[in-house]
Amino acid sequence: MADYDAQLGRDVPTQPSAAQRDADDVDLLAGLRGVAELVADARSVPELLGDVAHFASVAIPHVDGASCVLKQPILGVRTVTATADFIETIDRVQYDEFREGPCLTCMESGRVAISGSLGSDDRWPHFGGRVARMDVHSALSLPLIVAGQVIGAINAYAKARDAFGEHAVATGVQFAASAAVSVYHAQLLHSTQTRTEQLQRALGSRAVIDQAIGIIRSRTGASAEQAFERLAQLSQHENVKLATLAERLVDDAVRRARARHRS
């Protein structure tokens, strides 16, 4: 059984019947198949997290709503996606208002956090009381772990008390392990695409700056270093980015050349 952080004195739900286990296994397989196909669809990270939350609500028994978040070094969490409006409210209460709750606990410890009576859970007195007044009483937060590092979490909530027993926890842990790989690969893909776009922009800017230097040299007879210095000084004087100024200079030269050609 997975190691997890449970509410002290909680009532452990009875184990499901064999028929219920079989039905849960079918749902788990559907969820696992879904997250395994996500990266191949080249979805954005927010879209992928939304799909992970959806498949979690399918795979884990007794879930009334789920969310998925990524861990951020400074702000704690980012890109929260939820399957229901009341989950978005719960997450705002946890991350923005009280800064306490099962998700934050599980991401800090790297262990599953579970509660069957949030209103009486001493670990999160402010969060638990607020959520219980929303008629949500059970929580199950599962860390997303890759290479020993917590990259985020899946949060499952239920209105019933003691909704998540040993079977639900085991199912959730199995789902989270697969989901973590998909989320991590999506992050890597997004990071690679971002770096490629930045490099392409930098190369494009460099080409325009080189063209502007050539125009200045042809007009003034200056060296490449002198032309660049003049361009840089003009950029500072007009408080305009160097690439923007260079593009403006090149466009102006093109317009003049076309005008001469027409005349």
pLDDT, tens only, 210-263: 888 888 888 888 888 888 888 888 888 888 887 888 888 888 888 887 877 776
Query: Edge-to-edge strand order for the sheet containing 112-115?
Result: 4-6, 112-115, 138-146, 149-158, 65-72, 76-82
Task: Give percent of the chain with pLDDT exceeding 70.
Answer: 75
Which DSSP string corresponds to 156-210? Answer: EEESSTT---HHHHHHHHHHHHHHHHHHHHHHHHHHHHHHHHHHHHHHHHHHHHH
Q: What is the DSSP string of 3-32?
A: -EEE-TTPPPPPPPPHHHHHHHHHHHHHHH
- What pLDDT sits at residue 108? 92
Query: What CATH number does residue 126 fall under?
Result: 3.30.450.40
> Residues 178, 198: one domain?
no
Residues 107, 230 within the same domain: no
- Reported as a single tens digit per residue, the pLDDT across 136-158 is 999 999 999 999 999 999 999 99
Which of residues 130, 155, 187 is at a domain's end?
187
| pLDDT on residue 33 | 61
| pLDDT, position 90 | 95
The stretch 78-87 carries a mean pLDDT of 85
Residues 152 and 214 placed together within one structural domain of the fold: no
Distance CA 105, CA 124 (A): 9
Same domain, residue pair 198 and 182: no
Task: Give the residue from 156, 187, 218 where a domain finishes.
Answer: 187
pLDDT: is 236 or 67 the higher one? 67
Instruction: Count structural domains, the chain.
Output: 2
* Alpha helix ranges (H) inside 221-241: 224-238
Which amino acid, 205?
S
Residues 122 and 202 in one domain: no
The model's pLDDT over 93-120, given as tens digits with 9 standing for 90+, comes to 999 999 999 999 999 999 999 999 999 9
Q: Which domain holds residue 216?
A: 193-262
In this structure, are 183 and 208 located in the same domain?
no
